[in-house]
Structure 1
Amino acid sequence: MADSRVRRIKLGSQGLEVSAQGLGCMSLSAFFGVPEPKTDPIALLHHAVNSGVTFLDTADSYGPQTNELLLAKALKNGVREKVELASKFGIIYGEGKREIKGDPLYVRAACEASLKRLDVNCIDLYYQHRIDTRVPIEITMGELKKLVDEGKIKYIGLSEASASTIRRAHAVHPITAVQLEWSLWSRDVEEEVVPTCRELGIGIVAYSPLGRGFFASGPKLLDNIENNDYRKTLPRFQPDNLVHNKILYEKVCAMSEKKGCTPAQLALAWLHHQGDDVCPIPGTTKIENLNQNIGALSVKLTPEEMLELETIGHPDSVKGERFSNMVPNFKNSDTPPLSSWKAA
């Protein structure tokens, strides 16, 4: 039976309805080290759906590819009909390199490959994972529009896109959702991207809403993760920065104790109170954590408490960038003008 605390929201203005909190599936396969042997990802996915968390987020680059194959197993026996399935294209890993692609031939090939791995006829929400700054966004969107017309995807999304890119893409075909990193310690999207989405009626999907686990475990997180966990490479988790960021975590802990909830629930509740156009997608490999995350939907915050949290999470309170310099930032994700495009 679905948990009554997981309400439903309309994501964007194109007709997509999802659970108010989703599940980021990346950590079940990639980047956060190897899941514990006792972890049963299929059981966790089924528990999420049965609890009302039906918005599942994956990508072809998670694994790579193994995350989509995992979801295919979980979606058997009637589960597919109960979920809103989101996947992404645009990041390729190979020979130790990372490439961003958005040309039409690649877009179509990536979609066809994801459909096959997921063993579905249609992907509900298909995002461009990162923006290919070599290809005008209008060209990428043109191919995605064809995929919508062919019934292979229902809705189009962008991830880590600038306000300008979002506007240009939306002019070709309505964008249903923009995925962005938004949390108490990642708030740069509030300046331009979030207002642009709201102006255009685009839903907002907040990934890493717990700061990649920081607001669940604090600095001790680094003591319990493997050496191949990519979080160990991120600026905010480096020793000097972590000492500074610990202060932010301790303030959140103090406030959560007064509220009678966990720090993670408080961090998620802050996002839920941003508006019904925002859907956080925390990830986890543990059913216990999933249940706690659902509990965030029941945490009520007053305007005064929201202001207190925003003061605690002021950008000046955070030390270290979101990513290393190797990873594109949404602020420089603009693409060339359409007039510059010459098809291969």
Structure 2
Amino acid sequence: MLCTDQRKWSAGLWFLLKSCLVTLLRDDWPKTDQSENNISSSLGPVVKKKQRISTLPDELPSLVEIRRSLPKHCFEPSVARSLYYVVLNVFGVGLLYGGLIYLERLMPSYIVYAITPLYWFFQGTLLAGIFVLGHDCGHGSFSKYTLLNDIAGNILHAFLMVPYYCWKLSHKNHHKNTGNIDKDEVFYPVRKKNDSGGRMLPGFGLGFGWYAYIIRGYSPRQVCHLNIFHKMYANHSLDCAISIALVTVWGMALAFYAQTMGLWALVSHYVIPALMFGTWVVIFTFLHHTEEDVPWYSDTKWDFVRGQLSSVDRDYGWAHYFIHTIGTHQIHHLFSKIPHYHLDEATAHFRKAFPHLVRYDDSPILPSFIRMFKKYLRQSVISDEADIHIYQ
């Protein structure tokens, strides 16, 4: 089973490197039996290409009832399988980096200039995959072992200049309060009394905006991910300090790289791909919970299941498995302990059991991001008394 999937993933990566285009990948790991395979293959046709529901039923199934509709093995992480994806991702990053170094040394400059932007894009995409694997560590879906999760998460996120444990806690706050106007972590509607009147950078600043969020947080409920004394990090100061220390060490290594290889080498080989990764994160994080007819609730109207169902499954096409199925988001939010490699299967079962609760949109990603960003600019400041907010 491992070898079969390795051939599929490697073939896709080779095609990416050979032609600078990535083929569509529609199958992940081989399923354990034929019935499981049939479930997963029906993921798309279970719902329409767009399924938007602005009003949920008053009576929703409980989390326990939804969980009963999912296979038990979907909740079981595998250390070997999780590490396999890490090795595969790191191998891909190294292969792209080595390929660019080879071209820079042996090829005419005009070829290097033509190829380098493709390197930035695809390397940034693979870095986004590394981020998602670290994100799984934070949720405990990487393995059953907290220590292993935190070690792997710290290493993976430090490589991206992200303090793992600090972000793990702020992201936990997002999952605890998804769709809550008054408590969610990022990209939430802002009440007039809290609106500073500041201007929003186009596309939230994309990759620059991501790192600004790490440093400053999202206004008006700002959380600096470098301040171990923030109240969100109470009782976790040492864990946060370790993550920040690892980011600092990696930053020193990058400074040494610039000193040795040159500033442009650092910018081209690492900084721009890292900004591309940040762009990916801003785009898919925003689109996870922002779409027409997706409701946001005041704290008095919000409950956990209702809030998590304000998540949207999206089709990221060729990138779906390179960013580890993060676009399959409703089930991830309902059950964040499900490993990414079981999300498609669990989602298929959820859609069969509760088709009236599904939110799915396969519109092209960039046009969707631009469209919803424009709506966000016009409609995200809401009245102080609003109980429900829906983008129109």
TM (norm. structure 2) is: 0.26
TM (norm. structure 1) is: 0.28
Based on CA coordinates, which of the two structures has the bigger radius of gyration?
A: 2
More strand by share: 1
Asked which structure has the greater RCO (Cα within 8 Å, sep 6+), the reply is: 2
More helix by share: 2
